[in-house]
Chain A
């Protein structure tokens, strides 16, 4: 059963990676990153039940990951709103000052 959970998490992670690389709207990129974080959480909880030493440690790790992810989403949206005020767009292709 463990390998089924791990495969599902791998699929979820790869879809999130594809979305984060391809999408242009910065909000959607943030959404894809949340998807990847969810895949990681699924792995942690699966190992906390089916791992070599089953314990609650994986669930504690997931709790802290969820807290950090919530903080990341809040700060990310705030940065996007500030960028939108300054530049009038959230298209990631147009934030390319550092390239020139």
Chain B
């Protein structure tokens, strides 16, 4: 199944997947919340590299801008504004953790089995567009106008809602 030749794409895939998986595992195992956010930023940047490998340059840019930039900073602000004793307290809850680990591993086993068993149809080769951002912009303003406008309404509602929720109540 994994009999891929040692091309540049495969080497880049390997490097990015090492970054992604080690960042994710470190995120789960760190105890300080700020360290978790930093390792999560590494995961986001690794995923952006994967997007470049998959000929989605515009999405890679958006990923770095929104996830590695905005969401990480937002989470750090969330940590700062909530609790400062930011070390996860360890308490006896090992059965719960073991149950969660078994569930996650079972889900992974199921997904892995499904991926191995599925016979994917041989696709015609993907011709990457000359200008990825140009093609996405054209699609966004022709075929996807209605979802695009709906997303803009959603973002406005969400940000106004966030401001209202987080605002200090007047005495």
Contacts and interface: CB of A to CB of B under 8 A. Distances in A.
B76 to A, nearest CB: 9
A21 B9 CA distance: 34
B59 to A, nearest CB: 6
B123 A77 contact: no
Given A3-B115, A38-B67, A45-B59, A19 B27 contact: yes
A19 B100 CA distance: 9
B28 A73 contact: no
B92 interface: no
Q: Please report whether the interface of chain B is mostly helix, strand, loop or mixed according to DSSP.
A: helix
B97 interface: yes
B165 A82 contact: yes
B152 to A, nearest CB: 9
Contact of A34 (B2, B33, B67, B104): B67
Interface of A, helix, strand, loop or mixed by DSSP: helix
Interface string A33-51: 0110010011001101111
Nearest to B150: A64
Contact of B21 (A6, A8, A48, A64): A8
A7 to B, nearest CB: 6
B81 A56 contact: no
A73 B71 contact: yes
A38 B147 contact: no
Interface string B46-86: 01001100111011001100110011001101110111001
A12 B21 contact: yes
Given A51-B123, A59-B58, A68-B151, A6 B75 contact: no
Of all A-B residue pairs in the complex, the 9 with the closest CB atoms, nearest first, are A71-B158, A54-B126, A21-B100, A78-B162, A78-B165, A10-B111, A18-B104, A78-B166, A14-B108
Interface of A: 1-8, 10-19, 21-25, 27-28, 30-32, 34-35, 38, 41-42, 45-46, 48-54, 56, 59-60, 62-64, 66-75, 77-82, 84-85, 89-90
